[in-house]
Amino acid sequence: MQNQLSHIKVAVDAIVFGYSKQDGVSVLLIQRKYPPFKNSWAIPGGFVLEHESLETAVKRELEEETGITVNYLEQLYTFGEPERDPRQRVIAIAYFGLVKASMYQELKASTDAENAQWFSIKKLPPLAFDHKQILQAAIARLRSKIRYQPIGFELLDKKFPFSDLEKLYTALLDKDINRRNFSKKILSFDFLEETGEVSKPDGKGRPSKMYQFNQKRYRELLKEGFHFEI
Amino acid sequence: MQNQLSHIKVAVDAIVFGYSKQDGVSVLLIQRKYPPFKNSWAIPGGFVLEHESLETAVKRELEEETGITVNYLEQLYTFGEPERDPRQRVIAIAYFGLVKASMYQELKASTDAENAQWFSIKKLPPLAFDHKQILQAAIARLRSKIRYQPIGFELLDKKFPFSDLEKLYTALLDKDINRRNFSKKILSFDFLEETGEVSKPDGKGRPSKMYQFNQKRYRELLKEGFHFEI
DNA sequence: TCAAAAGTGTTTCACTTACACCCATGA
DNA sequence: TCATGGGTGTAAGTGAAACACTTTTGA
């Protein structure tokens, strides 16, 4: 095997989720400029360079195509059916990323991102290749993972009112949540801390305390055998 | 992109677990015949052919190298660090497989398997490439997955005494299990059925009822929103 | 002073945990 | 009849679910 060449190409894709109170959970898509599927919406991604790690490749492609930097990234699944790309055999290692609400707002301003756009996961456009299937796998991962790992905080701002967290969970889990029991449960975990600030009420109602996720405390709890579960 | 060739090669690996009361949980390894890592033990696997799906490739390689057929297979993770193979860039899509106790016994008889062998996960040999890391990921997956999905039955025979299941769980989860509460919990799920048979006691003690996993009933329960958890 | 949203106390109920005892078999 | 492993009943403890009430703000 003297550096043989392969007929199979290796690509990475990035399914990036963002959140806002107005639009709920959204995913970042780009519009294709060239055939096949010209002008279709697609998941950002591209081919892996010979000496670059898979994660580096995802981050690079994401930066090039959308200008976005994620604050959470994990491997999702590898899609490799022989016919998934009509041109030639391409296997795609899909990654799952999250960005904070502040980054979500910034996309509009970026110049790299002229053909990148957020789509609410409730109103998705038709997608190129097998990207519908990939996106569905990512949404399933997000929905299940948010129940046993505190990744919800990666979608909110650093400091947030408690109701934001509750709205996020309501948006992702279908059943509606009992406000009282939800707050009792989350606060009993003891990894949220009050910042001392309060939110100015937008319009009406009592202002709420601002909280932030204490990552260090969470890691300590994990070491003690703690298990997060909603 | 007219069928360009890639400098990155695509391989699949299969981490297959088996179980027996004597050896506990074991993993199937092969001894390498050629350099690099000649004579080292390694996870079975090989390169993906141009027109074959990833799953087909895993099953084919497993059959060729060990003669084993799995009754459960899922994708584990894709390993793609640039330096993981000293010869050239190879990304490996690792799969996670389980075989029933009867298949576990058969390996010894198979001729294909002259250089394949079961190793207890408690006494593992040094491994080629980054296979130690891959195997650790697989063991972690098995340990965590057995808690929220009834894959334990894929490691036992079709019919088994209850204590076999208990021993399997004791072997995988570190903490020891309260026999009474474990059986109450499993039986309350209502996907195990008595076969009417009893085991002949091997040596001593009261014979036990034989049970079998009712896959159909389990699927029904899932539809009703049932959630398995130990 | 009213509507809206935040914040909190308490009872009920179900399930887990812990413990103890009985049963069937071979030697 | 004894040792061994299989099979089962139940009380106590813990935590989730349900519900109702109070507080703080803007209009």
Q: B51 vs A82: CB contact, 8 Å cut-off? A: yes
Q: Which residues of A touch B13 (CB under 8 A)?
A: none
Considering all nucleic acid strands, name the nucleotide whose C1' atom is nearest to the C-alpha of residue A230: D16
What average pLDDT is seen over chain A? 93
Cβ proximity of A6 and B9 under 8 Å: yes
Q: Which nucleotides of D are covered by protein (CB under 7 A)?
A: 3-10, 16-20, 23-27
The two domains B9-148 and B158-223 share their CATH topology (first three levels equal): no
* B181 contacts chain A (CB < 8 A): no
Give how far B210 is from chain A: nearest CA, Å: 34
Name which of B6, B75, B80 is nearest A6 (Cβ-Cβ): B6
The pLDDT value given to residue A111 = 57
Which pLDDT tens digit goes with each residue over B75-103? 999 999 999 999 999 999 999 999 999 88
Q: What is the pTM of this model?
A: 0.95
A200 pLDDT exceeds 90? no
> What CATH superfamily classification does B9-148 receive?
Nucleoside Triphosphate Pyrophosphohydrolase (3.90.79.10)
- DSSP labels for A177-188? PPHHHHHHHHHH
Which pLDDT tens digit goes with each residue over A137-153? 999 999 999 999 999 99
The pLDDT value given to residue B184 = 97
Side chain identity, residue A24: G
B124 pLDDT exceeds 70? yes
B158-223 to CATH, choices 2.40.50.140, 1.10.10.10, 3.40.50.920, 3.40.50.620: 1.10.10.10
Residue B3's pLDDT band, with cuts at 50, 70 and 90, is confident
The pLDDT value given to residue A88 = 95
Report the share of chain A in percent with pLDDT over 70. 96
- Between B118 and A114, the higher pLDDT residue: B118
A117 pLDDT exceeds 80? yes
Angle subtended at Cα B14 by Cα B10 and Cα B17, rounded to the nearest 5 degrees: 165
The pLDDT value given to residue B2 = 59
**Structure tokens that stand for B159 in this block:** 């019919």
* B50 contacts chain A (CB < 8 A): yes
**In what helix (H) or strand (E) does residue B138 lie, and over which residues does it extend?**
helix B131-148
Q: Where are the domains of chain A?
A: 9-148, 158-223
3-state secondary structure of A136: helix
> Which of B128, B103, B112 lies closest to B64, judged by CA?
B112
B110 pLDDT exceeds 80? no
The pLDDT value given to residue A9 = 97
A164 pLDDT exceeds 70? yes
Residue B1's pLDDT band, with cuts at 50, 70 and 90, is low
